[in-house]
Amino acid sequence: MSLCLSRHFLCFKQDIPNYQARGFNIEINQDKIELLLVRQDARVQAYKNHCPHLGIPLNWQPDEFMSLEGSHIQCSTHGALFSLEDGHCIAGPCTGQNLTTLALERRDDNELWLQF
Protein backbone atom coordinates (compact mmCIF):
# COMPACT_ATOMS: atom_id res chain seq x y z
CA MET A 1 0.00 0.00 0.00
CA SER A 2 1.43 3.40 -0.94
CA LEU A 3 1.10 6.34 1.40
CA CYS A 4 0.43 9.68 -0.25
CA LEU A 5 1.86 12.40 1.97
CA SER A 6 0.58 15.37 0.06
CA ARG A 7 -0.56 16.61 -3.33
CA HIS A 8 -0.53 19.77 -5.41
CA PHE A 9 -3.18 20.65 -7.98
CA LEU A 10 -1.70 21.17 -11.47
CA CYS A 11 -4.54 21.55 -13.99
CA PHE A 12 -7.49 19.83 -15.62
CA LYS A 13 -6.92 17.15 -18.24
CA GLN A 14 -8.64 19.23 -20.92
CA ASP A 15 -6.11 22.04 -20.31
CA ILE A 16 -3.57 19.86 -22.18
CA PRO A 17 -4.36 19.37 -25.88
CA ASN A 18 -4.09 15.79 -27.06
CA TYR A 19 -0.50 14.76 -27.92
CA GLN A 20 0.80 17.97 -26.38
CA ALA A 21 2.58 18.81 -23.16
CA ARG A 22 2.38 21.56 -20.59
CA GLY A 23 5.13 22.76 -18.28
CA PHE A 24 4.88 23.80 -14.63
CA ASN A 25 7.27 25.50 -12.24
CA ILE A 26 5.98 24.99 -8.74
CA GLU A 27 7.36 25.46 -5.27
CA ILE A 28 6.63 22.95 -2.54
CA ASN A 29 8.11 23.34 0.92
CA GLN A 30 10.70 25.76 -0.54
CA ASP A 31 11.74 23.18 -3.15
CA LYS A 32 11.33 24.30 -6.75
CA ILE A 33 10.04 21.58 -9.05
CA GLU A 34 10.00 21.92 -12.83
CA LEU A 35 7.82 19.32 -14.51
CA LEU A 36 5.77 18.61 -17.58
CA LEU A 37 2.53 16.79 -18.17
CA VAL A 38 2.10 15.02 -21.48
CA ARG A 39 -1.25 13.78 -22.73
CA GLN A 40 -2.07 10.88 -25.04
CA ASP A 41 -5.83 10.55 -25.31
CA ALA A 42 -7.05 9.63 -21.81
CA ARG A 43 -3.53 8.99 -20.51
CA VAL A 44 -1.46 11.72 -18.82
CA GLN A 45 2.13 11.25 -17.62
CA ALA A 46 4.21 13.55 -15.39
CA TYR A 47 7.98 13.91 -15.80
CA LYS A 48 10.61 16.15 -14.27
CA ASN A 49 11.63 18.82 -16.78
CA HIS A 50 15.22 17.70 -16.66
CA CYS A 51 17.13 16.25 -19.61
CA PRO A 52 19.32 13.31 -18.53
CA HIS A 53 22.04 14.49 -20.95
CA LEU A 54 23.07 17.77 -19.28
CA GLY A 55 20.54 18.08 -16.49
CA ILE A 56 18.91 21.17 -17.95
CA PRO A 57 15.25 21.88 -18.84
CA LEU A 58 13.99 20.17 -21.98
CA ASN A 59 12.31 23.24 -23.43
CA TRP A 60 13.40 26.76 -24.24
CA GLN A 61 9.90 28.09 -25.00
CA PRO A 62 6.95 27.70 -22.61
CA ASP A 63 5.05 24.43 -23.15
CA GLU A 64 7.18 23.48 -26.20
CA PHE A 65 8.21 19.90 -25.46
CA MET A 66 7.07 17.86 -28.44
CA SER A 67 8.76 16.68 -31.62
CA LEU A 68 7.34 18.10 -34.84
CA GLU A 69 5.28 14.95 -35.43
CA GLY A 70 3.93 15.03 -31.87
CA SER A 71 5.12 11.46 -31.39
CA HIS A 72 7.88 12.09 -28.81
CA ILE A 73 9.08 14.53 -26.18
CA GLN A 74 12.12 16.27 -27.69
CA CYS A 75 14.89 18.10 -25.87
CA SER A 76 15.38 21.52 -27.45
CA THR A 77 19.13 21.61 -26.80
CA HIS A 78 20.51 18.53 -28.61
CA GLY A 79 17.33 16.90 -29.91
CA ALA A 80 17.09 13.78 -27.73
CA LEU A 81 13.78 11.97 -28.26
CA PHE A 82 11.83 10.41 -25.38
CA SER A 83 8.87 8.05 -25.43
CA LEU A 84 5.62 9.62 -24.25
CA GLU A 85 4.62 6.43 -22.41
CA ASP A 86 7.62 5.94 -20.16
CA GLY A 87 10.14 8.76 -20.81
CA HIS A 88 12.70 6.35 -22.26
CA CYS A 89 15.24 8.06 -24.55
CA ILE A 90 15.26 6.35 -27.95
CA ALA A 91 17.58 8.72 -29.87
CA GLY A 92 20.17 11.38 -29.13
CA PRO A 93 23.11 11.78 -26.76
CA CYS A 94 21.35 10.17 -23.77
CA THR A 95 19.90 7.14 -25.60
CA GLY A 96 18.94 4.42 -23.12
CA GLN A 97 18.41 6.82 -20.22
CA ASN A 98 15.04 7.96 -18.89
CA LEU A 99 13.18 11.06 -17.86
CA THR A 100 12.23 10.96 -14.18
CA THR A 101 8.60 9.95 -13.73
CA LEU A 102 6.56 11.78 -11.10
CA ALA A 103 3.48 10.42 -9.35
CA LEU A 104 0.22 11.84 -10.62
CA GLU A 105 -3.18 11.46 -9.04
CA ARG A 106 -6.37 11.85 -11.01
CA ARG A 107 -9.48 13.01 -9.16
CA ASP A 108 -12.98 13.05 -10.61
CA ASP A 109 -11.30 11.70 -13.79
CA ASN A 110 -10.28 15.20 -14.81
CA GLU A 111 -8.28 16.90 -12.07
CA LEU A 112 -4.53 16.29 -12.21
CA TRP A 113 -2.62 16.46 -8.92
CA LEU A 114 1.10 15.95 -8.31
CA GLN A 115 1.79 13.57 -5.45
CA PHE A 116 4.85 14.09 -3.28
Which member of 43, 78, 106, 107 binds ligand FES (CB under 6 A)?
A: 78
From the number of C-beta atoms within 10 Å of its C-beta (0-12, 13-18, 19+), residue 65 rates as buried
73 binds ligand FES (CB under 6 A): no
92 binds ligand FES (CB under 6 A): yes
23 binds ligand FES (CB under 6 A): no
Q: Which residues contact 12 (CB under 8 A, 6 or more apart)?
A: 110, 111, 112
Query: In whole angstroms, how close is the CB of 63 to ligand FES at the nearest point?
Result: 17
